[in-house]
Structure formats: structure tokens, C-alpha cells
Amino acid sequence: MSQNNDDTGMTREGLAADNSADGQPPGVQDEALYRRTVQIEFAGTGSEYFRIWIVNVLLIIGTVGLYWPFAKARRLRYMHGNTFIDGHALGFHGDPWKMFRGFLLVAAMGLVYGASSRSLAGAVVAPILIGLLWPALWRASLQFRLANTSWRGLRFQFMGSLSNAYRAMLPLVLPWLLMIVTAAFLNNTHEMGDTVSAGMMTSYAVSSIVFGLMLPYGFYCIKNYQHSNYGYAQEQTRFLQGAKPFYVVGLKVFGLVLLMLLMLGAVLGGLFALGNAPGVLGFVLSLSYLVALSVVAAFFQTRLQNLVWSATETKSVKLNSDLEFRKYFGLTLRNWLLTALSLGLYRPFAVIAAAKMRLEAIQIDLPANIDDWVSAGASMQDASGEAAGDFFGVDVGL
């Protein structure tokens, strides 16, 4: 716990205003000006998480999947309880039974969605319904997760409004819907044996390109919504970046994908030229595929985490993330290799190692004394959104 005085003008001003409003004596105000930077520490270990995980898996199997939300609650408790900020761990207090209810609701939705995609009407209506419900569920999941996360006994909050959730999702949902619907019509025409008109092909191609071009902006809107609305005590985060750096990351990832495809092509060509046995060919090719995939995944995750968390601050807290691509790539590759070789048994170790590296790359600059921070009042939320977030693969990422 190093104490330093490298406060920025802005936060000092904010603090000063805050303290004087509280009518605190000058001595306390001076003390509050002392700031320190703490690194998130993660104490979880793979061997312990393995034991939690394997028992969870057994229970999930034994209950035909119904134990899933309870396993998830236990997992989150473990992860939170091992994430230390300034010597205090986070806490997860989600009620597994609430999560169970949300789990059932989302499972039912998934079944309806799966069953309806067979007919044209279903293939058009179901995505529209999902598109309409999704932002609300997403917001609910953020509210549930944050409201059930605590630090120093105070609950976090998610303060984003419903209308802003829709606004944040619109840039992605709209082109996605356009793409899905044109694809559904295209499939239907094809199945009926009619010739697909050039206009239809063009509209599908255009909607796909629009979706691709909107992707970085959509990511920006989503991250901006999330990172502008996290709350703790009287503090609310704000997000300092615009859409531009998201396009920079997007372009680099796109370039990297092309590069990796070239690399895979070269490997394939080289192997054919050398005339290797099919076994060797398969082995070298899968290995190169795994390397290419982990390069892209690690690059994207590193850049996105650093971009997003370094641009997040509150009135008196500043965050910074300096996850190193090279280190994270090595870890990702090792994790995937060992997971594949162990037929999945290494997975809990991989999860812990990745979480440790990602969390410990985050530094938090905060006032020395936050004893007087006061809860802004927590609200309890329904867990169906949380389940939806899990189901559709969206994670809050804290």
C-alpha cells in the first residue's frame, strides 16, 4: 500500500467539492488528498477451483442440468471471494434460487427460439422478438450482477436506464436483424426451388457488410453504456473514450485474421509440397490453427480490456489496465492446448490462470481514506437477465 500524491487536478477538485459539501473538518479533507494505487490481486488456485468445478459438473450431470444456476452461484462466489482490492475481497450474494428461476425462463425462450426457426415466419419473427427483449434482459443481468456484488460491505449498482440500453444495442441489433431476415428469405426462396434474385443477394451482402462495419461502433456503444453506469457508494463511473479506438482495434484484428489465414495457407501449401502422411498433416495443421486462433483471441481480449478499463473512472477513482499481449497469448495457447489434450479436465486451471492474469493487470488509483463512503441504496433485481447474459454469452467482465 504505497501512498503517493500524484493526484490529477480534476479528481482533486471533485473531492474537495465533495468533502466541503459534507462539511468535514479541513484535516480530513487534506488526508483524503492522499491517494494510492492498488493492484487487483487474485488468490484463486487451479487445484482448488478444479475440486469445486468437478463436483459442480457431477451435480449438473446428476440433475440433468438443473443444478446449473447453483453451480454458477458457487463459481461466482469463489471468483469474487478471491478477487482482492486493497486487501478486501469482493463478495457475491446472488440467490441461487432466483438465478434458477431466470435459468428456467431463458431455457424456455431458447427452446421456443430453436423450434420456431424452422418456418419462414418463425425465422423472421423469433429474431425480432429476441432483438426486442434482449436489451431489457441484458440490462436486467447487469443490474442483478452488480447489485449482488459487494466490496467492503457495500453493494455495487448498475445505473443504466432501459431506454439507453435499447439505444446502446440498436447499432448492432438493427443490422443483425436485417442480416438474419434477409438470410431467412434467401434460404426460403432457395428451399422452394425458386431462383434467388440478384436484388436479394445484394441486400444480403449489403446487410452483412453494414453489420461488419457497424461492429466496432456497436462494441463502443455497448461498452460505453456499461462503463458509464457502474456505481459504488456515491461514485458512478464514466467512460472517456470515443468510437475511434474501437475501429483501430477492429482494423488490427481484421488484419491479424488475414495474416493468420495467409499463415495457415502457407503451412498447408508447405505440407502438401513436402508430401507428408495424413497424420502429420492433420497434427501440424490443427496446431497451426490453434496458434492462429489464440493469437487473434488474445490480441482482441488484451486490446479490448486495456482500452475499456483504462478509460473508466469515477469522480475519485481512476482505473488502468496494462495486460501484455505477449504474456496473455502464451497463456491462452497453453490453456487451450492443455484443455484439448486433457479432454477438458484442465479447463478449471485454465479459467483461473486467465482470470488471474487479466485481473492482476488492472490497477486502481483511489483516495487513501474511503471510510466515509456511503451506500447509495441497493436494489434487488430479477435473475432472468443474468441467465440470459450467460446463455447468449455476454459477460459483464468484472
Site for another protein, rule CB under 8 A:
43-45, 48, 50-52, 54-55, 57-59, 61, 74, 77-78, 81-82, 84, 87-89, 91, 93, 118, 150, 152-155, 190-191, 193, 233, 286, 289-290, 293, 297, 335-336, 339-340, 343-345, 347, 370-375
User: What minimum distance in Å lies between the beta carbon of 208 and another protein?
Assistant: 20
Comparison of 311 and 352: residue with beta carbon closer to another protein? 352
Minimum CB distance to another protein smaller for 125 or for 281:
281
Q: Hey, what amino acid is at 7?
A: D
Cα 186 to Cα 117, 182, 200, 205, 233, distances in angstroms: 14, 6, 7, 11, 52
Least distance (Å) from another protein to the CB of residue 84?
7
What the block records as the C-alpha cell of 257 is 485474421
Nearer of residues 38 and 136 to another protein, judged by Cβ: 38
What whole-number distance in Å separates Cα of residue 299 and Cα of residue 392? Answer: 22
For residue 301, give the nearest of 397, 212, 386, 387 by alpha carbon: 397
- In the complex, the smallest distance separating the C-beta of residue 158 from another protein, rounded to whole angstroms, is 18
Rg of the chain over Cα atoms, rounded to whole angstroms, equals 24
Shortest distance, position 17 Cβ to another protein, whole Å:
19
Please state the closest distance from residue 253 (CB atom) to another protein, in A: 17
Smallest distance from another protein to CB 163, Å: 30
Task: Round to whole Å and give the CA distance between 65 and 61.
Answer: 6
Q: How far apart are CA 45 and CA 266, in angstroms?
A: 40
- Do 56 and 67 form a contact (C-beta atoms < 8 A)? yes
In the complex with another protein, the residue whose CB is nearer, 190 or 327, is: 190
Residue 67 or 309: the one with the smaller Cβ distance to another protein is: 67
Our CB check for another protein shows the closer of 155 and 227 to be 155
Cα 159 to the center of its chain, rounded Å: 18
370, 37 Cβ separation under 8 angstroms: no
CB of 58 to another protein, least distance (A): 5
Q: Evaluate whether 290 touches 332 at the Cβ level (below 8 Å).
A: no
Output 17 or 345, the one with its CB closest to another protein: 345
- Is residue 180 exposed (0-12), middle (13-18) or buried (19+ Cβ within 10 Å)? buried
Q: Which residue, 254 or 373, has its beta carbon nearer to another protein?
A: 373
Select from 385, 390, 316, 248 the least CA-distant residue to 14: 316
Q: How many CA atoms lie within 13 Å of 25's alpha carbon, on the beta-carbon side?
A: 2
CB of 81 to another protein, least distance (A): 4
Query: Cell triple for residue 291?
Result: 496458434
Which one, 9 or 377, has the nearer CB to another protein?
377
Strand (E) positions, 227-287?
A: 230-232, 235-236, 238-239
Q: Which is nearer to another protein, 48 or 382 (CB)?
A: 48
Min separation Cβ 80 and another protein, Å: 8
Name the E strands within 163-248.
Answer: 230-232, 235-236, 238-239
Rounded to a whole number of angstroms, the minimum distance from the CB of residue 116 to another protein is 12
Measured CA to CA, the distance from residue 339 to residue 15 in angstroms comes to: 48
Which three three-digit cell numbers place residue 336?
A: 487451450
